[in-house]
Structure 1
């Protein structure tokens, strides 16, 4: 597939996030996003399993359809490639050849899920430390954690084997979308997403099949690994105006695509933490819940700017916060801590400033400044919606690193995966 050099073609970038779906159209000539649409999925659902985090797959796909429908049809008809990214680690199950149903008019087709399970997300906490310890040791550079696809399958094998018997294909939610677009009989999974499930060796590019078979794991559910950045197939039909036979990239991780969209130089540094803006959101949610228990109704959108204003007035604090309430990739069982408190430093300004500093302290612990300098890093690229909303976090970023800090523009996974797809198409010319 050759990209036209005389008129604009587009790559459709899709990101299926934890709380929202975003789609963009990337102009292949300017490499800029000319159109975008983002909508909340509202897909979370309760369950009977303690600490479970599940989402309704049908709502995610419905949101995807709504987002793509909002894009200009005349530009969708000029789409020459589709890139898909999404929330990593999670897992959804479906039946081969029966995972969706296509519907619509002769000119506008779309699909909706059929014979599919709920999505068990990366935030799922059903696998206790004791349960994880009972599982075989993976041959992987990544430690196994709750919310990882293979750990979830092991849990279902023990506690809900009847659910596994209903399906014969598994993947991430973004792998599912790629499979449906291409009408694939099986599922392909990029090395990025496979590694996020556990029991995958990124050196050999293979699942730990011997280890898994010996443990009685249903290896038939595992998707076929493919190289990240390759194409999984072509659209089986016209889709929202996107022509049939359009190349579709193998689904990629949202973290990697976000980084790809923000890094422009080989000497840039990027690090990712599980405890960033989501920790601030947890803090705001806690305050909102406390106020409600006290009989005061106040929205989170009202609280957030007041916290930032209070922290800006409090330039320093001796309160110390370890913000790892969500664990970390290298220390899944870690928890948050607050220390050095006194009657004189419990104001919102002190605590919010300490929380923002703690988020950066945690990041620096994973990416020490000395290591950056030794590696020849010349600047830090800071990205994420939390930084866009939080001037205090920006202040703490600039204190934390002895290097120039730049703030990325158009930094998101949908843009990043569209860029990866565009680059792949260029290589095929």
Structure 2
């Protein structure tokens, strides 16, 4: 019977995943890495991705799903990496997809400036007008990036008349939308968005000649953005597509089953999150607070402590080791390095003061000038495995400084669900989560899945 399934698509930082759900269960899924990172014109401060590669990966995932499954898709919900921004020119909209070849033809767009982008310095951010929002503005936020482009690359901006997240762009192409539409979840992640009124800070942005005409229209989660304007593989033209959602919200939605649960998701970055009703939304942010409140579902907010330091720190460490080894003329794959790190134990004497690592090498949004440091080094605790253990421990200690076990208890949290690829694959991280959050019931092994969460929410909005 056609029209049974609900599709969730996650355009993540490092991969694309598609999930097909029915009756709250995942019936099919496929995932592929994007490998879309590209060099930035601003050097190491810029984190940019190739839009064409991301959408090509979407197509590759679609090809792995059977025509029978795709022909039964009733509704689509797209989620993905928050904060980032891509620009395009609307007059080329009908050229972005070649129906005869069933392929994207992405030209006349900017690169995707991702959430990891560091071009907006603290000095630059303080020069911007103060937002009317309960969320602070940080580098990597869409509107901060647009401010930067308008100040330093104004001629570049004149090539475009639309902006949105990568998910908003995909929806525009699929649905033939002349003007982008986003959700309040994603708008809040860009900055200069008042969640209590559901509106952009138009008057504030207008004071600084901000390119306000680029900003998308904002809808609530569950509202329809449009319908497919062509058959997409075996999914029929006219299939509804919901407004795009934040990947953090969808990831949490995929695993939470009770109101007294919190999620610790450790992947590329690290997030601690739990839903909460807010009677009033603050007018201005507490910029020094590590916990922020993002629009969630059903008029709730999601309390989120989003660390910029997670699996990316461990990946950086492995890359560093690989480079050091190469400097001596040796070749070692990252896979081999990971195997060595995860299978061995530290040689440090248990009675000795261990090395301590604060692994905040990417800074933190609530403390942008806070970077990594190492202390407690002795002649006997600098072996590779002691350092790696200290690094893993430091990552979890960093999140406990942001959200302590006592804070979770105060908020009524009784159970902590540990999810994410880093927790699943790294027994040292698992041990540290169990140890440092030992005052709360901890369950490891749940699969936090933004694509599945989008599919579940898509099904939850279905009234037929």
The residue that corresponds to 1:297 in the other structure is 331
User: What are the superposed Cα offsets for residues 164-206 of structure 1, whole Å, 9 maximum, x if unpaired?
Assistant: 1111110010111111111111011111111111111212211
Report the CA distance shift for 1:77/1:314 in structure 2 as closer, same or farther (over 3 A).
Answer: farther
Q: Which residue of 2 aligns with 1:333?
A: 369
Deviation of 1:229 (Å): 3.1
Structure 1 counterpart of 2:90, from 96, 101, 118 = 96
Deviation per residue, 1:138-173 (Å, 9 max, x gap): 122222111111111111111111111111110010
Name which of 398, 409, 420 aligns with 2:434.
Answer: 398
Quote the RMSD (CA, aligned, Å): 1.9
Residue 367 of structure 1 aligns with which residue?
403
C-alpha distance in structure 2 between counterparts of 1:8 and 1:77, whole Å: 7
The 2-side partners of 1:79 and 1:130 are apart by 48
* Structure 1 residue 407 corresponds to structure 2 residue 444: yes
Q: Does 1:17 align with 2:12?
A: yes
1:347 to 358, 379, 383: 383
The 1:8–1:381 alpha-carbon spacing in structure 2 relative to 1, beyond 3 Å, is farther
Give the count of matched residue pairs. Answer: 418
1:75-114 aligned within 5 A: 75-99=69-93, 100-105=95-100, 109-114=102-107
1:262 is paired with a residue whose SS is coil
Alignment of 1:47-196 (within 5 A): 47-50=40-43, 51-99=45-93, 100-105=95-100, 109-196=102-189
Taking a change above 3 Å as real, the CA distance of residues 314 and 64 of structure 1, as seen in their structure-2 partners, is farther
Contact 1:73 1:240 in 2 (8 A): yes
Match of 1:284 among 299, 318, 324: 318
SS at match of 1:284: helix
Return the alpha-carbon distance in structure 1 between the equivalents of residues 84 and 372 of structure 2.
Answer: 24
Question: Are 2:347 and 2:383, in contact at CA under 8 Å, matched by a contact in 1?
Answer: no
Deviation string, structure 1 residues 29-62 (Cα, Å, up to 9, x no partner): 2x22222221122211113223212111111111
- SS in structure 1 opposite 2:461? helix
Contact 1:97 1:183 (C-alpha < 8 Å) held by counterparts: no
Partner Cα separation in structure 2 for residue 262 and residue 321 of structure 1: 31
Secondary structure, counterpart of 2:52 in structure 1 = helix
Task: Classify 1:333/1:385 alpha carbon distance in 2 versus 1 (closer, same or farther; 3 Å).
Answer: same
Does the CA-based 8 Å contact 2:12-2:80 persist in structure 1? yes
Query: What TM-score results when the alignment is normalised by the length of structure 1?
Result: 0.93
Match of residue 292 from structure 2: none
Gaps of 5+ in 1: none
Whether 1:385 aligns to 2:378 is no
In structure 2, list runs of 5 or more residues that go unmatched. Answer: 264-271, 273-305
Q: What is the correspondence of 1:201-280 to structure 2 with a 5 Å cutoff?
A: 201-270=194-263, 271=272, 272-280=306-314
Structure 1 Cα separation of the partners of residues 224 and 308 of structure 2: 29
Q: TM-score, normalised by structure 2?
A: 0.86
